[in-house]
């Protein structure tokens, strides 16, 4: 091993003093030391003769020697051809340029934009608000007092520094903030991310996205609600889609209804997606509860309103057949690049 070490030292000395007057001499250096039959390769080949307990130490030495030689070669190249010149020589200007990978919008953004654009055409304004909320705007004002059983379905995350703060469970808190500032008529949609304390699976996640809507004015009726949501569905899924409303319960609306659309997969004949009913649920809705109006000093005898809420993931699932909620937040480009949009 001593002999090998000595050999490396000698080569290092030789390399240190090596001078190249032109590119040819640099090339000669490359062939002699770094070529396929060169010295570095040969020295590396000596590794097999090194005893096992010294392999680690010698491996490091041989690697250093290789790096040392490569650095010298780079320096020779620079001095004999000039860096810029080398680059200019090596570039073939006739080749087509590298293409820039252009990203696409996230499928949830595409669907949210589409939902927002439909309601904007009906005269709805867009409002946004904080994701960290207080109990009143998220629950209290929505007719969900502290002991209300419906709170169980909207368990959320609380902020350590101030347990009075929580991550909003719906964007209704944004409508609440609009109602605080604005008198009727109010016609607003609120898109945004919401949170729930759920175990993550294909069908549930600890965050998702909603678009909620609110329309308050004199003489707003359940017929207005039905026609508005029917228009939305036709714009979103096509003119052939049928709708039906089923009675439901939400603390913030009375009466309340869930809206189904005829199954897009089987056209209503029955399949796995609609569980052989021909219908799939897409949103919840109802007439704003008088208690909610009163919470914001809106005279419930003069004004009425309707509200609705939908999960963007759900609409996206129906439109693009996405069957696992986790795909939306895994950042897998193989999934994401399948979606394109004009806006």
State the binding site.
254
Q: What is the DSSP letter of 279?
A: E
Which structure tokens are listed for 1? Answer: 């091993």
Q: Of 133 and 212, which CB lies nearer to ligand 2U9 in the complex structure?
A: 212
Q: 3-state SS of the chain: helix, strand, coil percent to 5?
A: 45, 20, 35
Q: Of 68 and 237, which CB lies nearer to ligand 2U9 in the complex structure?
A: 237
* Least distance CB 170 / ligand 2U9 (angstroms): 6
Q: Of 8 and 288, which CB lies nearer to ligand 2U9 in the complex structure?
A: 288
**CA 243 – CA 254 distance, rounded (Å):** 20
CA dihedral over 135, 140, 146, 150, signed as positive or negative: negative
Of 49, 90, 93, 47, the residue nearest 66 (C-alpha)? 47
* Least distance CB 117 / ligand 2U9 (angstroms): 19
Binding-site members for Mg(2+) are 254
Strand order in 162-167's β-sheet?
A: 132-134, 162-167, 158-159
* Residue 165 CB neighbour total at 10 angstroms: 16
Partners of residue 196 on adjacent β-strands: none
**CA 248 – CA 256 distance, rounded (Å):** 5
Which structure tokens are listed for 38? Answer: 């060169």
CA 223 to chain centre: 37
Cis before residue 59, ω within 30 degrees of 0? Answer: no
Name the residue number minimizing CB distance to ligand 2U9.
284
Q: Of 26 and 175, which CB lies nearer to ligand 2U9 in the complex structure?
A: 175
* Least distance CB 250 / ligand 2U9 (angstroms): 5
Q: Of 285 and 317, which CB lies nearer to ligand 2U9 in the complex structure?
A: 285
* Least distance CB 237 / ligand 2U9 (angstroms): 17
* Least distance CB 214 / ligand 2U9 (angstroms): 5
Of 111, 108, 127, 112, the residue nearest 189 (C-alpha)? 127
Q: Of 29 and 232, which CB lies nearer to ligand 2U9 in the complex structure?
A: 232
Residues that bind ligand 2U9 in the complex, under the rule CB under 6 A = 170, 172, 175-176, 210, 212, 214, 250, 252-253, 283-286, 288, 292, 307-311
Q: Of 31 and 204, which CB lies nearer to ligand 2U9 in the complex structure?
A: 204
**CA 154 – CA 197 distance, rounded (Å):** 7
**Helix ranges restricted to H, 102-166:** 107-121, 135-138
Exposure of 243 by Cβ count < 10 A (0-12 exposed, 13-18 middle, 19+ buried)? middle
* Residue 186 CB neighbour total at 10 angstroms: 22
| 261 and 233 Cβ atoms separated by less than 8 Å | yes
Q: What is the DSSP letter of 105?
A: -
* Least distance CB 109 / ligand 2U9 (angstroms): 17
Q: Of 68 and 222, which CB lies nearer to ligand 2U9 in the complex structure?
A: 222
* Least distance CB 242 / ligand 2U9 (angstroms): 20
* Least distance CB 283 / ligand 2U9 (angstroms): 5
């Amino acid at each position: 091993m001593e002999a090998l070490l000595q050999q490396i030292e000698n080569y290092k000395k030789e390399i240190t003093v090596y001078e190249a007057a032109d590119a040819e001499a640099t090339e000669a250096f490359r062939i002699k030391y770094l070529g396929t039959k060169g010295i570095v390769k040969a020295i590396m080949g000596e590794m097999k003769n090194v005893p096992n307990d010294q392999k680690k130490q010698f491996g490091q030495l041989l690697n250093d020697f290789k790096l040392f030689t490569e650095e010298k070669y780079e320096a020779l190249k620079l001095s004999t051809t000039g860096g810029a010149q080398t680059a200019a020589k090596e570039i073939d200007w006739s080749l087509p340029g590298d293409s820039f990978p252009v990203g696409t919008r996230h499928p949830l953004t595409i669907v949210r934009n589409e939902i927002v654009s439909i309601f904007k055409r009906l005269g709805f304004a867009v409002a946004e608000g904080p994701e960290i909320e207080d109990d009143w705007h998220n629950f209290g004002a929505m007719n969900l007092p502290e002991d209300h059983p419906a709170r169980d379905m909207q368990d959320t995350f609380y902020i350590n520094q101030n347990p009075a703060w929580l991550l909003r469970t719906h964007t209704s808190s944004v409508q609440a903030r609009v109602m605080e500032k604005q008198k009727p008529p109010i016609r607003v949609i609120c898109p945004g991310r919401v949170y729930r304390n759920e175990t993550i699976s294909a069908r549930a996640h600890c965050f998702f996205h909603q678009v909620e809507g609110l329309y308050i004015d004199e003489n707003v009726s359940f017929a207005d609600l039905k026609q508005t949501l029917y228009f939305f569905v036709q714009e979103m899924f096509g003119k052939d889609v049928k709708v039906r409303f089923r009675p439901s319960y939400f603390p913030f609306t009375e009466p309340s209804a869930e809206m189904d659309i005829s199954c897009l997969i089987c056209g209503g004949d029955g399949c796995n997606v609609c569980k052989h009913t021909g219908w799939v649920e897409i949103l919840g809705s109802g007439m704003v509860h008088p208690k909610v109006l009163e919470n914001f000093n809106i005279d419930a005898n003069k004004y009425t309103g309707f509200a609705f809420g939908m999960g963007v993931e759900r609409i996206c699932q129906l439109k693009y057949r996405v069957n696992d909620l986790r795909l939306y937040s895994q950042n897998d480009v193989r999934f994401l690049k399948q979606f394109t949009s004009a806006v």
